Amino acid sequence: MFHDSLIKKSGQMWKIYTMFLGILVITVSLIFWLTYKQLNLFEAYFLLISLFLGSLCMLFGIFYIRCPYCGIHLPQYFIKNESYNLWLSTLLNCSKCPICKK
């Protein structure tokens, strides 16, 4: 699917998977919270910890996926320069860095 992707070629796909795991954790936590609005203390702590860890996973993906040649943060570049609904597909499909063209 993303065989020619710069991220896959540079061995950074695991960072994308970590980012998606964070999105999944946040989604499940929010569904849990919306379903059971009256939480006991343990469930509330679990919800807060899972939201925190999910956010950390997403931030990890955004700040640590880089071009191996010039070091630009690729997700930040595509979030800034692409449409809000196209940045992720552009990130996953880019075969060359938009800055250094390698």
Please tell me the predicted confidence (pLDDT) of residue 65: 92
Please tell me the predicted confidence (pLDDT) of residue 72: 93
Percent of the chain with pLDDT over 90: 25
Cβ(25)–Cβ(57) under 8 Å? yes
Which residues have a Cβ under 8 Å from the Cβ of 72 and sit 6 or more positions away?
A: 66, 97, 98, 99, 100
Structure tokens at 62: 């955004």
Q: Does 20 have pLDDT greater than 70?
A: yes
Which residues have a Cβ under 8 Å from the Cβ of 47 and sit 6 or more positions away?
A: 29, 32, 33, 39
pTM of the model: 0.79
